[in-house]
Amino acid sequence: MAEASRAAAVFSLPVRTPVTESRPVKAEDFKSHVHPDWCPGCGDFGVLNSLQKACSELSLQPKDVLVVSGIGCSSNIPGF
């Protein structure tokens, strides 16, 4: 596979419908199409769900939220 087409295959991910400010933002609006690969029962699920819930309760728009992470399993939170 040519390098360009391989990159296109990797980055051809579904595009989420933008959240408009005309409806309430839900926690689900902050979820990506990538499912967490953490171990079953990992506490990172609770952190992720709480972060998404808090953002929705604060009526933040997904486009206005930036999550920065470090290393380790929890550092995948911005992708989920």
Residue 19 interacts with ligand SF4 (CB under 6 A)? Answer: no
* 13 three-class SS: coil
Burial 35-53 (b: 16+ CB within 10 A, else e): ebebeeeeebeeebeebbe
Residue 47 interacts with ligand SF4 (CB under 6 A)? Answer: no
Is residue 22 within 8 Å of residue 59, measured between CB atoms? no
Residue 39 interacts with ligand SF4 (CB under 6 A)? Answer: yes
Cβ closest to ligand SF4, residue 61 vs residue 76? 76
Residue 42 interacts with ligand SF4 (CB under 6 A)? Answer: yes
Min dist. Cβ of residue 24 to ligand SF4 (A)? 31
